[in-house]
Amino acid sequence: MKKLLLFFCSILLFVNFSNAQIEKCATMHVLEQHKQQNSPYIKQMEDINVQAQRWINANENNLNFDIKGRMLSIPVVVHVLFHQNDSANQNLQYPIIQSQIDVLNEDFRRFNPDTTQTRAVFNQITADAGIQFCLASKDPNGNATDGITRTKVTKSFNPFTAMDHMKSAATGGKDPWPSDKYLNLWVCDMSFAGFVFVLGYAQFPGDNPLTDGVVIQYQHFGRTNNPTAAPANLGRTATHEVGHWLGLRHIWGDADNCIATDFVHDTPNQLKASSSDCNKTLNTCVDSLVDLPDMVENYMDYSSDICMNSFTKGQSQRMWSQLFAHRMGLFTSDGCGGQELQVMPDLKNILCFNNCDGEISLDVYGGTPPYSYSWSHVSFSSPTVSGLCQGSYTVTITDSDAASSQITFNLNDPQTLVANLVGNQDISCDNCEDGSIQTQVGGGTGNYSYSWNTNPVQTTANANNLAPGVYSVVVSDGCQTITLTDSVVNPFVGINKNRYNALKVFPNPSTGVVYIENAGLQPLTVSVINLMGETVFSSDYTGTEEKITIDLTGKVSGIYFVKFNSKDQVMVKKVTLSLNH
């Protein structure tokens, strides 16, 4: 409470009451207060975020995931708390309450008429979140209800002393309905000394279930209530706060810098919150890939209600990930009269190239159990199928009322493992041990290991500090293995060093034809040997030729050794063949 109290005191110190600055959202202040109090739920919220991110990663990488193919109806109970001395204004009537539900449905389904005001640069990332809301038609006891409770109170729930007091009858408010089945939305007076400082706040998934929900200042609830309350008069305070309740953060990452994150990949970086206006010229941060302007039309900014008009695809995915991570009870809630079928998949891709060890497991919610499963390409009728090869798989899930849902999954096969020795370095002097061989690896599972026949064994991609000799490396990705062989030579043994240096083999690398400039070796036998020790070319020369031409265009690309035999001298040069077959 101390942290929160300081926040509101700072408002009082710097703002004239006659022109009070309104804080649009106190959600992060409440979260900070809970951290200061060492709330046991903080760790749970962190774990939920980790689990949600794991779900996002799985869906981005493995699943043809179309958010528009999903639909969740969330039952809402609106707790109207009205002061007995101001019942006419605070005891909101049904049309105002229904207008707020309409706004939530329009905004979360992207049915809002002002979608045309979204700038073209953002059209590819805006989204229908596939989430809709209803005033609950059943209460926790299964009785019919209009989804509204009304409680006469004797005080305002000012933020100095009454944070969350509206959420409990014991502190003068109204107890929540089970937060795992309903969205509790309290509407009350949070003013202090007659002035409004906070429009609303919410609680993130995983926090205390006894206070879980959203609180809205009554003047800013609904589309038709108090039209003079601009710029927050179109019901989008609730849209913003319900976004928090579903796990979204502020678009600027709640820090005045360009590196803070809202944990969503497609929202542009933003230096700070907008100022309840709609300045579409702002571009306060440079984005790394495509530099986008500040998305002031995003519901999770602090723009005016008339400016806000969109969520992004990434925000939609984060909301669903938080639902699956913590708010699963909403999928089986009958507060709206029943749920559509919902499917949470768990995909295990194929581990090794050309194997058939993939698996798909399904958790199904909503509809009317039991469920039946019909899979394409495999003779399974269960929610889990295994032993799958690379390919596309479609499952049709049908409940006992004949409602059905169809989803397609893609299982990916790792590429085949590819490895080559791309270059080596012979020793630089007689008796040196500074040779090296380099390995280039691709494909496979990406989990590469290396084992060289050196003493001691080297386990890196490149082998170093090598003496002259033949070396091999076993490359593995945990599934496939490849053995490669190369050599480090001592070009200084038994030869005239000046003559060796004058002996030229070019171009190197070559695309097929190799030229040799002799250095006075007479007579001369030239041989070309591959890494397998096979002689692929051999010819005798008098040694008087100015230039020798060797055509290797019919050979495979790779490393070859050109061997020169002249009387009692043997010299070896290395050449790399790089053919464009």
In order, the DSSP letters of 102-163 are HHHHHHHHT--GGGGGS-GGGTTTB----EEEEE-SB-TTS-B--SEEEEEESS---TTT-T
Cα–Cα separations (whole angstroms), residue 282 to 234, 255, 371: 23, 17, 51
Q: Which CATH architecture has domain 340-411?
A: Sandwich (2.60)
Could you give the 3-state DSSP secondary structure of residue 29?
helix
Euclidean distance between the first and final Cα of the chain, in Å?
Answer: 73
SS3 content of the chain, % helix, strand, coil (to 5): 20, 30, 50
| Beta-sheet pairing, 183-188 with 214-217 | parallel
Burial level of 467, CB count in 10 A (0-12/13-18/19+)?
A: middle
Phi-psi category of 297—alpha, beta or left, where left has phi over 0 and alpha has psi -120 to 50? alpha
The vertex-246 CA angle with 271 and 289, nearest 5°, equals: 40
By C-alpha distance, which of 325, 362, 366 is closest to 346?
Answer: 362
| CB-CB contact of 528 with 551 (8 Å) | no
- Is-catalytic flag, 241? yes
Cα–Cα separations (whole angstroms), residue 349 to 360, 406, 575: 9, 20, 42
Q: Which CATH architecture has domain 415-488?
A: Sandwich (2.60)
DSSP string of 257-288? Answer: SSS---S-SSSPP-SS---SS--TT---S--S
Across the beta sheet with 372-375, the strand order is 372-375, 391-398, 404-411
| Beta-sheet pairing, 72-83 with 183-188 | parallel
pLDDT value of position 222: 94
CA atoms within 13 A on the CB side of 503: 25
Say how far apart CA 357 and CA 348 lie, in whole Å: 8
Cα–Cα separations (whole angstroms), residue 493 to 122, 465, 524: 69, 19, 18
Residues whose CB falls within 8 Å of the CB of residue 110, separated by 6 or more in sequence, listed in order: 126, 127, 128, 129, 310, 311
H/E stretch holding 7 reads: helix 2-14
**Catalytic option among 23, 106, 241, 297:** 241
Say how far apart CA 365 and CA 342 lie, in whole Å: 5
* Placement of tokens 């010229």 in the chain: 281
pLDDT value of position 312: 96
Same fold, 340-411 and 497-577: yes
Record the pTM.
Answer: 0.64
- Two structure tokens written together for 233: 């008069």
Burial level of 484, CB count in 10 A (0-12/13-18/19+)?
A: middle
Say how far apart CA 534 and CA 578 lie, in whole Å: 18
pLDDT along the chain (581 residues), means of 10: 47 42 86 85 92 80 48 94 92 95 97 95 94 94 95 85 88 96 97 87 95 96 76 94 98 92 93 88 88 95 95 95 92 80 77 86 79 87 89 88 83 86 71 84 88 92 87 90 83 66 87 86 87 84 86 89 79 82 55
| CB-CB contact of 426 with 490 (8 Å) | yes
Could you give the 3-state DSSP secondary structure of residue 510?
strand
The residue extents of the domains of the chain are: 2-257+313-321, 340-411, 415-488, 497-577
The superfamily CATH assigns to domain 2-257+313-321 is Collagenase (Catalytic Domain) (3.40.390.10)
Q: Give the CATH number of domain 497-577; options: 1.10.1040.10, 3.30.499.10, 3.40.640.10, 2.60.40.3080.
A: 2.60.40.3080
Say how far apart CA 153 and CA 347 lie, in whole Å: 51
